[in-house]
Amino acid sequence: MVADRVHPDLHRLAPGGAGYVIGIDRIRELISQLSLLSAEGGERLAIIEQADRMTEDAQHALLKMLEEPPARVTIVLCVDDEEQLLSTVRSRSARLRLGPLATGEIEQLLVDRGEADAPTAARLARLVQGRPGRAIALAGAPEAVTARGEITRSLLDLLEAGPADRLLAIRDLAGQASRLAVAFDPRPAEPRSDARRRTTRRAAPGGQAVAAPDPAAEGDPAAAEDSGASGLTAAAERRRNTAALLETWHDLARDLVLVGLGSPGRVRDADLIEELERTAGRLDRAAVIDFLVRLERAWDLLGGNANPELLADVLVLAWPAPRRAA
């Protein structure tokens, strides 16, 4: 029943909607369910995935349940960044830190489960940065692995492209990234309008514009009313696709730096080693490192409801160009 996600005493929440958040109504519903007696007469478990995407109102609503949970109830808050939770929520929670697995462990896991043959398992284990769930998802979605390779090669090609060609190409790459995004999170986004509002930073160091807020993605009632449920769902999908694109982009920039430093054995995608070696020698390593920092900042901005298309536009224009031969 747990494996099929039909156990009545297992409750799961995940972000959804245009702002990709968990709103107060869903938390109130969870609290109501946990206040009832166990359907199976045993333990009850609530898992809140990406709990750092709860709105502030939702977190406040959860506080009482965290302070005095009903008997035989366990609530698990899964977070990547606990600083996004209210201090009152953090103080009422016990921390269990989960680190990444070694590449060899993930490779063996895939083989033992019959998810992939040994060569495929070795490649996937290198790609997923110690996350076995990602490896299993990619093993079951070969089209996502293909999409990742296509995106990476396109990004390498864009190093040679001018601004106009870069801007034209980046929207197509975000569309291709949807195959990756769906592999990692196959659930459809839920159209909701109670999204968390955040103040989005508008400028990078040096005063350069980075991204503007996306009103529909922030759950703006007027925008929600104008766009309708389908528009809200589309906004969540755009953000999810852009997140997948940024992750692939980050891996590529990291690999270029490693090759430039003479560490090709540590790259994530060994199938691209020849292209990486040809390109890395023509790039200013410091510029690529600066771009990695920009990508990290872009990831934070995307989580703060920045407009995903504008974010991608700014990044592709900042993608370092190779040095020209004398």
pLDDT, tens digit (0-9, with 9 covering 90-100), for 306-324: 899 999 999 999 999 987 7
The DSSP code for 159 is T
In this predicted model, which residue has the larger pLDDT, 31 or 236?
31
pLDDT of residue 21: 87
pLDDT, tens digit (0-9, with 9 covering 90-100), for 42-71: 899 999 999 998 999 999 999 999 999 899
pLDDT, tens digit (0-9, with 9 covering 90-100), for 10-26: 999 998 876 778 999 99
- Going across the sheet that includes 44-48, the strands are 10-13, 44-48, 73-77
In this predicted model, which residue has the larger pLDDT, 44 or 237?
44
Task: Please give the angle made by the CA atoms of 57, 58 and 62, to the nearest 5 degrees.
Answer: 115
Task: Give phi and psi for 16, each to the nearest 5.
Answer: -165, -175
Q: Strands 10-13, 44-48: parallel, antiparallel or unpaired by DSSP?
A: parallel
Instruction: Give the pLDDT band of residue 202 (cuts 50, 70, 90).
Output: very low
Question: How much of the chain, in percent, has pLDDT values that exceed 90?
Answer: 56
* SS3 of residue 73 by DSSP: strand
Query: Among residues 165, 163, 178, which one has the least CA distance to residue 308?
Result: 178
Instruction: Give the pLDDT band of residue 91 (cuts 50, 70, 90).
Output: very high
pLDDT of residue 248: 93
What ranges in 68-214 are assigned the alpha helix state H? 87-91, 103-112, 118-127, 132-139, 142-158, 163-184
pLDDT of residue 186: 57
